[in-house]
């Protein structure tokens, strides 16, 4: 899941692609691919020039800024619109789009073309392609792997005077945290500290209320303290799982981190605000999706070895990170489905996926990420691998929007507005979600 338009990734380094089509199609088509407006989309435009050359089709792109992306594109799908032939839709849309007939089912196409989901990172197949979850029913090809992780000022962590002070205070080295409690210690250490004549703060975290931000942030604590979306043996039984003792402690931890260690005025921050705070030197650490890391590396203020990366740390109840990312689907209302399927066939090739990674896209193809040279290909590559191994995702139910809005409200009211207790917030969330599932006929 995502929500803001950002600029960070360079799209240089693309080379012409290998041939995938024996000849150009008998009839050239004008295809439109719909996605959010962000730098990975710009990289895809450049990459897709190879497809145009090989296939004879012409590619157009409809990119919508993240804050408006869901409303704009879900309205398009719900109205049966023909704007989009290909859709890179959010992971949470897969259930509703499958059940409403917005996407075509890809199983027969995959079998015909020898495309197997076994070749992709399992978590991305579950998150971006499957509906129902855990079933071999595929509605998308994994297109962009993403996950919440952490960026930190490596150059600050390595200052001898700060290392010595931290070691004296905490009895351990100032280094990448292994646990959330260690992360909080580091954030407290940097909070209100003066570095190079400027006051700095511990961490920027997700607190945005209007779309999905605080949910995408707080889950990185909730999961690791024991929160579950329901009884594993009875998925819509929520009591004692959503509001377990561990989940309550996880929500309390997130509020403590917000209260102790974030910059003033950060009560409604998501991706772009966190990036701005980090690049401007305000914070020692930032929570954010992995897609920002290429931009960090090339930034004149914090790039060039000044920054490091680490997966979301473990908690007392587990070790998980919030999944982001999207799959690419063929829109059922398109009159050009055959040509759109050609694009998916081309995009699935290992050679194209390798170039996708080099261009700033996060490939979900196992052959790319398991290549012996992958982990050293970028300073953040190993962190991406480690993070994708611990992902968990939000609901992908057709009613996900109602589920999300309820969580946004309950969590923000407690963490940011300071209303009530963590137990009251999660008890209320159970009530909200039960009502949604009752309306859906699932309880």
CB 40, CB 326: distance < 8 Å: no
Q: Are residues 242 and 105 in the same domain?
A: no
Q: Are residues 267 and 337 in the same domain?
A: no
In a domain, 405, yes or no: no
**Quick one: 182 exposed, middle or buried, by C-beta within 10 A (0-12, 13-18, 19+)?**
middle
The model's pLDDT over 26-67, given as tens digits with 9 standing for 90+, comes to 589 999 999 999 989 999 999 999 999 999 999 999 999 988
Beta strands in 128-278 (DSSP E): 141-153, 193-195, 198-204
Give the pLDDT score at 12: 33
382: CATH: 3.40.190.10
Q: Residue 62 belongs to what domain range?
A: 30-146+323-392
The arithmetic mean of pLDDT across residues 163-181, rounded, is 98
Q: Are residues 161 and 309 in the same domain?
A: yes
Regarding pTM above 0.85, the answer is: yes
Q: Are residues 58 and 136 in the same domain?
A: yes
Q: Are residues 330 and 388 in the same domain?
A: yes
Give the pLDDT score at 219: 98
Among 277, 292, 322, identify where a domain stops.
322
Give the pLDDT score at 20: 46
Torsion of CA 313, 319, 325, 329, to 10 degrees: 170
In a domain, 97, yes or no: yes
| Closest to 201 (Cα-Cα) out of 288, 272, 261, 152 | 261
Q: Are residues 264 and 296 in the same domain?
A: yes
The model's pLDDT over 389-414, given as tens digits with 9 standing for 90+, comes to 999 999 999 999 999 999 999 999 99
N-to-C CA span, the chain:
27
The model's pLDDT over 194-249, given as tens digits with 9 standing for 90+, comes to 999 999 999 999 999 999 999 999 999 999 999 999 999 999 999 999 999 999 99
Res 23 pLDDT > 90: no
- Residues 291 and 19: their CA atoms lie apart, in Å, by 28
Q: Quick one: which H or E segment has residue 167? A: helix 160-170
Residue found under tokens 């473990």? 314
- Residues 114 and 116: their CA atoms lie apart, in Å, by 6
Q: Quick one: which H or E segment has residue 222? A: helix 213-225
Among 303, 322, 341, identify where a domain stops.
322
CB 123, CB 259: distance < 8 Å: no
* pLDDT classification of 18: cutoffs 50, 70, 90: very low
The two most distant CA atoms of the chain are separated, in Å, by: 73
Total number of domains in the chain: 2
Q: Are residues 307 and 187 in the same domain?
A: yes
* β-sheet bridge partners, residue 328: 88, 141
In a domain, 306, yes or no: yes
The model's pLDDT over 303-325, given as tens digits with 9 standing for 90+, comes to 999 999 999 999 999 999 999 99
Q: In sequence order, which residues have a C-beta less than 8 Å from that of residue 370 and are 6 or more positions away?
A: none
- Residues 247 and 390: their CA atoms lie apart, in Å, by 18
In a domain, 411, yes or no: no
In a domain, 21, yes or no: no
* β-sheet bridge partners, residue 112: none
Residue found under tokens 């059940």? 99
Looking only at the bridges linking them, the beta strands covering 321-330 and 391-392 are parallel
CB 11, CB 298: distance < 8 Å: no
Among 364, 392, 420, identify where a domain stops.
392
| Closest to 349 (Cα-Cα) out of 50, 43, 149 | 50
Q: Are residues 168 and 89 in the same domain?
A: no
In a domain, 264, yes or no: yes
Q: Are residues 240 and 171 in the same domain?
A: yes
Q: Apex CA 53: angle with CA 51 and CA 58, to 5°?
A: 70
In a domain, 107, yes or no: yes
Q: Are residues 180 and 316 in the same domain?
A: yes
Q: Are residues 136 and 194 in the same domain?
A: no
Q: Are residues 122 and 181 in the same domain?
A: no
Beta strands in 122-262 (DSSP E): 141-153, 193-195, 198-204
* β-sheet bridge partners, residue 34: 62, 87
Res 22 pLDDT > 70: no
In a domain, 123, yes or no: yes
């Amino acid at each position: 899941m995502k929500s803001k338009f950002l600029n960070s990734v360079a799209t240089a380094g693309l080379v012409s692609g290998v041939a995938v089509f024996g000849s150009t199609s008998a009839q050239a088509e004008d295809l439109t691919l719909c996605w959010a407006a962000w730098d990975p989309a710009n990289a895809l435009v450049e990459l897709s020039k190879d497809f145009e050359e090989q296939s004879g089709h012409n590619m157009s792109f409809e990119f919508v800024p993240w804050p408006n992306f869901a409303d704009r594109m879900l309205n398009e799908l719900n109205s049966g619109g023909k704007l989009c032939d290909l859709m890179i839709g959010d992971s949470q849309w897969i259930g509703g789009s499958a059940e409403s007939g917005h996407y075509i089912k890809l199983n027969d196409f995959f079998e015909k073309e020898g495309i197997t989901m076994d070749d992709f990172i399992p978590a991305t197949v579950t998150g971006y392609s499957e509906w129902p979850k855990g079933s071999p029913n595929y509605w998308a090809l994994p297109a962009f792997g993403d996950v919440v992780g952490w960026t930190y000022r490596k150059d600050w962590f390595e200052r001898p005077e700060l290392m010595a002070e931290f070691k004296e205070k905490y009895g351990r080295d100032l280094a990448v945290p292994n646990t959330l409690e260690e992360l909080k210690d580091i954030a407290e250490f940097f909070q209100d500290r003066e570095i190079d004549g400027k006051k700095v703060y511990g961490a920027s975290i997700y607190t945005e209320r209007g779309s999905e931000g605080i949910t995408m942030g707080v889950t990185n604590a909730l999961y690791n303290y024991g929160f579950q979306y329901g009884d594993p043996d009875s998925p819509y039984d929520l009591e004692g799982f959503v509001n377990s003792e561990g989940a309550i402690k996880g929500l309390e931890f997130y509020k403590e981190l917000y209260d102790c260690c974030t910059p003033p005025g950060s009560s409604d921050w998501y991706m772009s605000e966190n990036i701005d705070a980090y690049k401007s030197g305000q914070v020692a650490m930032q929570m954010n999706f992995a897609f920002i890391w290429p931009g960090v590396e090339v930034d004149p203020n914090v790039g060039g070895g000044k920054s490091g990366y680490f997966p979301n740390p473990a908690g007392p109840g587990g070790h998980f990170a919030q999944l982001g990312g999207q799959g690419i689907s063929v829109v059922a209302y398109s009159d050009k489905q055959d040509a759109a399927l050609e694009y998916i066939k081309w995009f699935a090739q290992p050679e194209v996926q390798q170039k996708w990674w080099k261009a700033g896209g996060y490939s979900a193809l196992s052959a790319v990420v398991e290549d012996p040279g992958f982990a050293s290909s970028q300073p953040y590559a190993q962190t991406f691998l480690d993070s994708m191994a611990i992902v968990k995702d939000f609901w992908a139910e057709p009613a996900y929007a109602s589920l999300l809005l309820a969580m946004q409200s309950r969590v923000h009211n407690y963490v940011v507005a300071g209303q009530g207790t963590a137990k009251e917030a999660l008890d209320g969330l159970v009530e909200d979600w039960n009502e949604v599932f009752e309306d859906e006929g699932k309880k």
